[in-house]
Amino acid sequence: MLSGEEGGCDCGKVRYRLEAEPIVTKCCHCHACQRQTGSAFALNLVIETVHITLLGEAPEAVEMPTQSGHGQANFRCPHCRISLWSTFHQAGDKARFVRAGTLDNTHAVVPDLHIFTKAKQDWVVIPEGAEAFEAFYRGKDVPRVFGETNAARWKAVLER
């Protein structure tokens, strides 16, 4: 259960609390996520903006490129520059893609799906039976992967 979990940046000036369970947790293996994180993938908790309570200073947005070409706003602490979450322009400001590594308790996070696995590092092993997509999943996959309730939450995010 991630509702009620808190997180923040390294210097502690940006802090937040999740007020609901994430819609979905995505592990993205694309090259852009590898570059932006300096790691093999990005692990993001997708959650509605209204379900994140800011407990400290606000992070600042930095525009970043994505494989889709649409870009994303990456929100970083203005002091220590840690990336806390991003917004993808397709979802507007209604959802955040919270970096799982910024949670105080990172052990509670397990990905629901893996995307852009075609670009994953060879040493990364995706668990047998995990939802995995060589590129991005399709709309028809959302109810199965997100679950019916969370698919409805995601649909509401996309309706602007």
Q: What is the CATH number of the domain that holds 118?
A: 3.90.1590.10
**What residues make up the domain containing 145?**
6-158
Counting the structural domains of the chain, the total is 1
Above 80 in pLDDT, residue 71? no
Residue 1 lies in a domain: no
pTM of the model: 0.92
Contact of 104 with 5, CB cutoff 8 Å: yes
Above 70 in pLDDT, residue 160? no
Residue 54 lies in a domain: yes
Residue 40 lies in a domain: yes
Supply φ then ψ for residue 87, to 5 degrees: -125, 135
Residue 155's closest CA among 18, 44, 46, 20?
46
Residue 114 lies in a domain: yes
Given this model, what pLDDT does residue 64 score?
Answer: 82
Above 80 in pLDDT, residue 87? yes
Given this model, what pLDDT does residue 108 score?
Answer: 86
Indicate the pLDDT class of residue 67, thresholds 50, 70 and 90. Answer: low
